[in-house]
Amino acid sequence: MKPLKCLFFLVVIVFQAEAQLFTKERLVNNENFDKARLSYGYYLGFNNYDFNIDYNTDVDDIQVIKSVGFNVGLIGNIRINDYFDIRLEPGLVMSNRTLSFSGSYFEGLVYEEKDLERELRSTYVHIPLLIKISTKRVDNIKPFIVGGISTALNLSSNQDNPDDNSQGVFRLVKNNLYYELGIGVDIFLTWFKFTPSIRGVFSIKDEHIKDLDLNSPWTRNIDQMQTRGFFINFTFQ
């Protein structure tokens, strides 16, 4: 909830800075900003990645310990009309997740405490292709929804690593596909357009790679493992 509160307070601060939004004489900033056929910008933000795991048998769930990651990237926007835009947002996404296994996965086996956790640090080249659907601009704000598909290349992938969990390596695929849905609001300031947004990211591809040993306690009970998470981005155009 803390990231959502930060986003809320940031929007309030921006609105207060643009005091004309709350006065009788409202000044329209950058009136023709969205009339350009092509526009560019960049974004900074945060992510919180999780895994959705489907199991082969009903045992204790694998716990995913999450942490806040960082996003940075560029934006290319093509205007279709006053309400529709197509956006390409290539960027770099850094995330960190830890899989925590219960002792039941190692029943009958000799194991150490370190075997119960696998840290997965990932750096993705993330490329979304999105459709942005906006409402009518009201003074200096313009809410929107956005959705589309994306692909990602995991630069930290160990897909081709001959070692697996028996050597402490939990392997993930190198390439992935997602669908994305989000909401946001364009805020037209005096010199630029500022856009806070929240977006859900959902993998449509199984990401885990089975260990060489079919009876591996780390992967034998995993049917599918797919990323899910959300972004909070702050865009400047």
Structure confidence by residue, pLDDT tens digits, 176-203: 999 999 999 999 988 899 999 999 999 9
Pick one of 3.40.640.10, 3.20.20.70, 3.40.50.2000, 2.40.160.20 as the CATH number of 2-236: 2.40.160.20
Query: With bands split at pLDDT 50, 70 and 90, how would you rate the model's confidence at 231?
Result: very high
Between 177 and 9, where is the model more confident? Answer: 177
Specify the pTM: 0.82
Kindly tell me if the per-residue pLDDT of 110 is higher than 50. Answer: yes
Mean pLDDT of 35-59: 92
Joined together, the tokens standing for residue 105 give 């996965």
**Residues 147 and 134 sit within 8 Å (Cβ to Cβ):** no
Contacts of 39 (CB under 8 A, 6+ apart): 33, 77, 79, 237
pLDDT score, position 21: 46
Query: With bands split at pLDDT 50, 70 and 90, how would you rate the model's confidence at 132?
Result: very high
Query: With bands split at pLDDT 50, 70 and 90, how would you rate the model's confidence at 67?
Result: very high
Classified as helix, coil or strand, 41 is strand
Between 75 and 160, where is the model more confident? Answer: 75
